[in-house]
Amino acid sequence: MKYVSTRGAAEPLGLSEAVQTGLAPDGGLYAPGRFPEFEVEDFDGRETLPQIAETFLAPFFEGDALASQLPDICREAFNFPVPLVELDETTALLELFHGPTAAFKDVGARLLAACVSRLPGRRTVLVATSGDTGGAVAAAFAGRANVDVRILYPKGMVSPRQEKQLTCWGAGVRAFAVRGDFDDCQRMVKAAFADRELSRRHRLLSANSINLGRLLPQAAYHAAASLWYLRRRGVRAGFVVPTGNLGNAVGAFWARASGLPIREVVLASNANRAVPDYFDSGAWGPRATVRTLANAMDVGNPSNIERLLHLHPDLEQLKTFARAFTVSDEEIERTIVEEAARGRVFDPHTAAAVRVRSLVATPHWVVVATAHPAKFESIVEPLVGREVRTPPALAALLDKESVCVEIEPSLESLIRAAFS
In a domain, 163, yes or no: no
Residue at 85 is within a domain: yes
Evaluate whether residue 35 is within a structural domain.
Answer: no
143 in a structural domain: no
Asked, for residue 334, whether it belongs to a domain, the answer is yes
CA distances from 398 to 161, 166, 168, 387, 390 (A): 7, 11, 8, 16, 10
30: pLDDT strictly greater than 90: yes
The pLDDT value given to residue 170 = 81
Average of per-residue pLDDT across 85-108 = 95
Cβ contacts of residue 419 below 8 Å, gap of 6+?
198, 202
Phi then psi for 150, rounded to 5 degrees?
Answer: -125, 125
For residue 90, being part of any structural domain is answered with: yes
Q: Which pLDDT value is given to residue 190? A: 86
The whole-number pLDDT of residue 130 equals 78
131 close to 105: Cβ distance less than 8 angstroms: no
Instruction: Determine the Cα–Cα distance for residues 163 and 349; give it in Å rounded to an integer.
Output: 17
> What is the total count of domains within the chain?
1
**Model confidence at 131: pLDDT above 80:** no
Parallel/antiparallel/unpaired status of strands 3-5 and 30-32? antiparallel
What average pLDDT does range 123-140 have in this prediction? 89
3-class DSSP assignment, residue 76: helix
Q: Which residues contact 211 (CB under 8 A, 6 or more apart)?
A: 19, 22, 112, 205
Measured distance CA(102)–CA(140) in Å, rounded: 13
Is 177 a member of any domain? Answer: no
Does residue 344 sit within a domain? Answer: yes
Rounded to whole angstroms, the Cα distance separating 49 from 342 reads 29
CATH number, domain with residue 245: 3.40.50.1100
- What is the pLDDT, as a whole number, of residue 285? 93
226, 227, 249, 376 from 367: Cα distances, Å = 11, 15, 12, 19
Mean pLDDT is lowest, of 143-157, 227-241, 266-280, for 143-157
pLDDT for residue 145: 84
Average pLDDT in the 24-33 region? 94
Three-state SS across 147-173?
EEEEEEEECCCCCHHHHHHHHCCCCCE
| Element of type H or E holding 93 | strand 91-95
CB-CB contact of 225 with 233 (8 Å): no
Domain that holds residue 331: 77-103+213-393
Supply the pLDDT for residue 53.
99
CB 352 within 8 A of CB 297: yes
pLDDT at 388: 96
